[in-house]
Structure 1
Amino acid sequence: MKQKRELTAIIEREGDGYVSLCPELDVASQGETIEEARANLIEALELFFETASEQKVKEKFHNEVLVTQVQIAI
């Protein structure tokens, strides 16, 4: 049985499409829509876990990722 893991997905517009990033593993993908960028990131993450050694996963994994906003004066 496959193990479930919850990861962060950050999706932002870039040009005519969207870029998606999983900061825990520094894995990224892209798509023409938000939904496509999200689906492509999921596919990239699944492929990473299928092909990476356990040691590689441990090396890349950032256990604590915080997403927040900051306010600056400009």
Structure 2
Amino acid sequence: MSIKVTVVVQKDENWYVAKCIENNVASQGKTIEEALNNLREALELYYENEKPDISYYQTFITTMEVAL
């Protein structure tokens, strides 16, 4: 079984942080690829003993400008 999740990757100083939007599971790595691989492993462990209950609603991600 496989599922599709929405992931955001952000650079935080010397690390890349990958976070799953659907369940807030996160991981990090020195490269984007490493962060994503670590997140994949974390998600596999997260769902190891239970069936995912993820609704497949479309997720829209965008940027916006905010006046400060």
Q: TM-score w.r.t. structure 1 length? A: 0.75
Question: Cα RMSD (Å) of the superposition?
Answer: 1.8
Q: Tell me whether 1:69 sits opposite 2:67 in the alignment.
A: no
Give, as a single letter, the amino acid of the residue that structure 1 aligns with 2:33. E
The offset of 1:66, in angstroms, is 3.1
Aligned length, in residue pairs? 67
Please give the alpha-carbon distance, in whole angstroms, between the structure 2 residues aligned to 1:19 and 1:31.
Answer: 7
Q: TM-score w.r.t. structure 2 length? A: 0.81
Please give the alpha-carbon distance, in whole angstroms, between the structure 1 residues aligned to 2:63 and 2:30.
Answer: 25
Unaligned runs of 5+ in 2: none
8 Å CA contact retained: 1:10, 1:20: yes
- Structure number with higher helix proportion: 1
Q: Percent identity?
A: 37
Residue by residue over 1:16-71, the C-alpha shift from the partner in whole angstroms, topping out at 9 and shown as x without a partner, is 111110010110000010000000000000110004x45xx54xx57644321112
Aligned to 2:10: 12
